[in-house]
Structure formats: structure tokens, C-alpha cells
């Protein structure tokens, strides 16, 4: 599988509204030049606008269909907004495993992709049984730390890739603390199919330069 970069914009002020659109425009430009698939996950309120600019995933989805579900984000609503899929089970939005399975299935039924986050190799193997499109392993203690998992805990990446492949042919991404091109290069060298990052991109003084360097490190 071609390596992929996933950019989680979270709910930072620097990634809301017009700022989110600009970050998506940069992602689109870098993807076009480098040939690397780059997916952006903006806030739900920015999904429809951002989907006109680049490939977008939601930051979360629920498993239910349309109905009386206040505050829920349904797969069909995401599809209508032109999102291509959704992140699930991020450490800041954890989900029961049974719910993860139902939501992966609901997204698949709607024709959408799923990226399930996991905290370690054991959880990576567990969620692989749901056959999501991607799994991103992210030790929670390293998220936003600036210390990449590929440097601090390389065995977590190696073991996660091995554990997932024993269950299903699901690409594994490396997340948590990914901050520069060298982190990306190390992640790919450890067997990851790509990276998931957030603050390093959103808060960068030169996000285009950073992203171009990361895409170039994909090899």
C-alpha cells in the first residue's frame, strides 16, 4: 500500500474555519506535488467546506442511522458532507470495543473508510478483528509530547504491525509525537504504512515546508 499521511486538526484555534481551509489547501498542494496520499480530519463544522479542497475524514463517527440522536454524527451524514471516512477511538475520544466494531461496520455499509486508533500492540490486534481500513497505534502518553513513538517506543510500532498482520491485512500507521521528517522516515523503517499527526502540523510556523519534508521522507 502507498504510504499515507493523516492530519488530525483537532479543535485548535489555529485549525478552525478559514484556518482549517488553508491547512487543507496546503495538504492538497503537497499531495499533488509529492504523490503521497494526505488525509485531513477537520472539526465536524468544517467538514463540508474542507471536503471541497482535499480528502477529509471526520474526527469521530457514531454507529446509528438517521433519527432522534441529538449530538450524534452518522455515517450517512458524513457521506453527504463528502467525507471519505472517519477516525475512531482516538485517545481523546475513546470508544468501547463493541462500539468500535459496530461503527466500522456502519461506515463500511455507507461506503466510507475507517481509521481506528489504538494505544498498543494488544489493542491493535483486537481492533484488527473489525477489519478497519487503517489502524494508528498511538501510546497516549506521547501524544502532543513532541517525542515520537518511533524514537521513544519503536517496539510498540514493530509489535503492532506484527500483531495486526496476524489478524488481518490492515495497514498500520504510526502516531503520537510525530514532529518531523526524520520521525516519518523511522516510522516507515519500522514497518508502518504512514503516520498520523496533529499539533506538529497545525502549530507549525511553516506547515507547507514541514508537510513537504514529511512526504519526501516516505521513500
Round to whole Å and give the CA distance between 79 and 81.
5
pLDDT at 147 over 60: no
Residue 134 has what pLDDT?
98
Q: In the annotation, is 138 catalytic?
A: yes
Place of cell 514532529: 179
Q: What is the mean pLDDT of residues 83-100?
A: 96
pLDDT at 176 over 90: no
Round to whole Å and give the CA distance between 141 and 103.
26
| Predicted TM-score (pTM) of this structure | 0.94
**Catalytic residue of the set 25, 90, 92, 98:** 90
Q: Write the CB contacts of 138 (distance below 8 Å, at least 6 apart in sequence).
A: 90, 91, 117, 118, 119, 149, 175, 176, 196
**Catalytic residue of the set 14, 138, 141, 213:** 138
Beta bridge partner(s), residue 55: 39
Map residue 66 onto helix, strand or coil.
coil
pLDDT at 145 over 70: no
Range with the poorest average pLDDT among 39-48, 159-168, 169-178: 169-178
Q: Write the CB contacts of 130 (distance below 8 Å, at least 6 apart in sequence).
A: 100, 101, 104, 105, 116
Taking only the tens place, the pLDDT of each residue in 148-165 is 655 666 778 888 899 999
What domains are defined for the chain? 4-216 (3.20.20.70)
Q: In the annotation, is 90 catalytic?
A: yes
Q: Left, alpha or beta for 190 (phi > 0: left; psi -120 to 50: alpha)?
A: alpha
Here the cell at position 158 is 514493530
Amino acid at each position: 500500500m502507498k504510504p499515507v499521511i493523516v492530519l488530525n486538526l483537532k479543535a485548535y484555534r489555529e485549525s478552525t474555519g478559514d484556518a482549517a481551509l488553508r491547512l487543507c489547501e496546503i495538504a492538497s498542494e503537497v499531495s499533488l506535488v509529492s504523490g503521497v496520499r494526505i488525509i485531513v480530519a477537520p472539526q465536524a463544522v468544517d467538514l463540508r467546506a474542507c471536503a471541497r479542497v482535499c480528502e477529509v475524514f471526520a474526527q469521530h463517527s457514531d454507529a446509528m442511522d438517521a433519527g432522534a440522536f441529538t449530538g450524534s454524527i452518522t455515517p450517512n451524514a458524513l457521506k453527504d458532507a463528502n467525507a471519505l471516512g472517519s477516525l475512531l477511538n482516538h485517545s481523546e475520544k475513546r470508544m468501547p470495543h463493541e462500539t468500535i466494531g459496530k461503527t466500522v461496520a456502519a461506515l463500511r455499509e455507507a461506503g466510507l473508510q475507517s481509521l481506528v486508533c489504538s494505544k498498543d500492540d494488544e489493542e491493535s490486534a483486537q481492533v484488527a478483528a473489525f477489519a478497519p481500513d487503517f489502524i494508528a497505534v498511538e501510546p497516549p502518553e506521547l501524544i502532543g509530547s513532541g517525542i515520537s513513538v518511533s524514537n521513544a517506543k519503536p517496539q510498540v510500532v514493530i509489535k503492532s504491525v506484527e500483531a495486526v498482520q496476524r489478524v488481518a491485512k490492515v495497514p498500520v500507521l504510526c502516531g503520537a509525537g510525530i514532529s518531523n521528517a526524520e520521525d516519518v522516515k523511522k516510522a516507515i523503517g519500522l514497518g508502518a504504512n504512514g503516520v498520523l499527526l496533529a499539533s506538529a502540523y497545525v502549530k507549525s510556523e511553516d506547515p507547507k515546508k514541514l508537510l513537504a519534508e514529511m512526504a519526501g521522507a516516505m521513500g
